[in-house]
Structure 1
Amino acid sequence: MLDQKLLTFIKVVECKNYTKAAEALNLTQPAVSQHMKKLEAYYGTRLIEMKGKAINLTDQGKMVYNYVQVQRSNEHHLKNKLNQIAAPMRIGATLSIADYYLPKYLNDYLQKGHDNIAVSVNNTKRIIQLLLDDELDCAFIEGIFDKDMFSHHAFTQTDFKAVVSPGHPLLQKEASVTDLYQYPLLIREKGSGTRKIFEQYLTQQNDSLLSFKEIHEIGSFMLLKSILRNSQAVSFMYEKVVEDEVISSNLAYLSLKDVRLTRPLFFIYPKHSLKSTWIQDFYAQFIPESAK
């Protein structure tokens, strides 16, 4: 870290005026003058000379100024190096978001050379616990969380849809949720935000998962979609999770009568975190206003 007297010297040279330098450094003018006198006493030579009201560097002053500029550049380089090995931002993400929503933001973020990050993927329940245990700094989740405990931003909105194979019998009729009950349901494991949202919807209809003929828990979206393609099962997923398969006609969205589920996806972090400013800066860089 550069000595304060050297920083004062730089500012005097840049401002070419003691008063302006004092204002820029939030010092009094006598303090600036004192710094300059001590610096010249240390080097044993005059560094600046006055010609009228103009401040000019002596030859010795030019040498000191060039030296300080090199040192300032070296310090900036050192800080950048230290930031590269500093503890990364620890980010949690649910499976849906990590695989289907984060990549476009993450690619842009990394290409711009921002701070290091470490991304952990888990279900909503586990991620929230990791946040509370200070094992994560922030997270991108789609599930339900306590808004009294976490600061949050909705970074996008997405539709939550019923998905079936392209040859499913229900595609030939105007189906309702109760029509689904005679078919197997493929659903994520307990603790998944996707599962919790669907369970909450059923509860609001005075119903539950028990109404389905069969229930199969599948923790992998790739496996889940593969089973859907080759069966008459039904599942519920965010639109982007199955977008490619629908475009290629390997799966299909099932429009349900009087059902439209649109959900926000959230960025969250513990309220009153000591890292709040750092986390907020990260979010602004990771998902800029132009990307929302």
Structure 2
Amino acid sequence: VETLPDTPGFSTHHVTSDELVLIVPPFHTAQEDQISLEEFLKQPLIMREPGSGTRKVLAQFLKKQGYSFKDLNIITEMSTIDAIKSAVQAGMGGAVVPRLSVKKEVYQGTLRALTVSELEMPLDFRIVKLDSHYLSSKARQLIKFLTDPEECFLC
């Protein structure tokens, strides 16, 4: 998950860090890999559905800058990152997604990842565990593999 649980009785284990970026089609007019917050607010955006972790995190960062979702130019909402990536590649608009989710497309040149100069959006991914629930040895091994740098040498 991208955000910490609000409910007591859960613990989390850090898996990896990332950042939210604005993805745009390769023909986007941005000259650099960064745009201003003012430019970002004007972009036609494809957003994740209400309740998604990405959307919650973006709302927090916007609030810190004195903005809300009402200030964004949201043209549609989609429930999967793959659908969002396809829509952005087709030129429908931009979208805010974790950088790791578009690593391949950026490398291949089918998408561009832009940062927003006044809107740093770091992201931590965590495993959430119910404290009262017993974890099998396989589940503990998986958590160790995902969270221990020495175990996750191929990640």
Please tell me the TM-score bracket, short chain as reference: 0.7 to 0.9
Q: Do the aligned partners of residues 190 and 144 (structure 1) sit closer, same or farther apart at CA in structure 2, a change above 3 Å counting?
A: farther
Cα deviation, residue 168, structure 1: 1.0
Structure (1 or 2) with the larger CA radius of gyration: 1
Give unpaired runs (5+ residues) of structure 1.
1-140
Runs of 4+ in 1 over 6 A off after TM superposition: none
Q: Do the aligned partners of residues 194 and 288 (structure 1) sit closer, same or farther apart at CA in structure 2, a change above 3 Å counting?
A: closer
| Partner deviation per Cα, 1:55-86 (whole Å, 9 max, x = no partner) | xxxxxxxxxxxxxxxxxxxxxxxxxxxxxxxx
Query: What aligned pairs does 1:67-86 form with structure 2 within 5 A after superposition?
Result: none
Asked which structure has the greater RCO (Cα within 8 Å, sep 6+), the reply is: 2
Query: What aligned pairs does 1:13-92 form with structure 2 within 5 A after superposition?
Result: none
Q: Structure 1 CA distance, aligned partners of 2:138 and 2:8? A: 18
Q: Structure 1 CA distance, aligned partners of 2:41 and 2:147? A: 42
Answering whether residue 42 of structure 2 is matched by residue 196 of structure 1, we say no
Q: Structure 2 CA distance, aligned partners of 1:282 and 1:274? A: 16
2:36 is aligned, of 176, 183, 198, to 176
Give unpaired runs (5+ residues) of structure 2.
none
Q: Structure 2 CA distance, aligned partners of 1:288 and 1:214? A: 35
Amino acid at match of 2:104: D
1:253 maps to what in 2?
A: 113
Which structure has the highest strand share of the two? 2
The total of aligned residue pairs comes to: 150
Q: Do the aligned partners of residues 146 and 283 (structure 1) sit closer, same or farther apart at CA in structure 2, a change above 3 Å counting?
A: farther
Q: Structure 1 CA distance, aligned partners of 2:144 and 2:117? A: 40
| Partner deviation per Cα, 1:14-65 (whole Å, 9 max, x = no partner) | xxxxxxxxxxxxxxxxxxxxxxxxxxxxxxxxxxxxxxxxxxxxxxxxxxxx
Q: Do the aligned partners of residues 182 and 285 (structure 1) sit closer, same or farther apart at CA in structure 2, a change above 3 Å counting?
A: closer
2:93 is aligned, of 213, 219, 233, to 233
Q: TM-score, normalised by structure 2?
A: 0.83
RMSD: 2.3
Answering whether residue 125 of structure 2 is matched by residue 265 of structure 1, we say yes
Q: Structure 1 CA distance, aligned partners of 2:42 and 2:128? A: 38
Cα deviation, residue 284, structure 1: 4.3
- State the percentage of identical aligned residues: 24
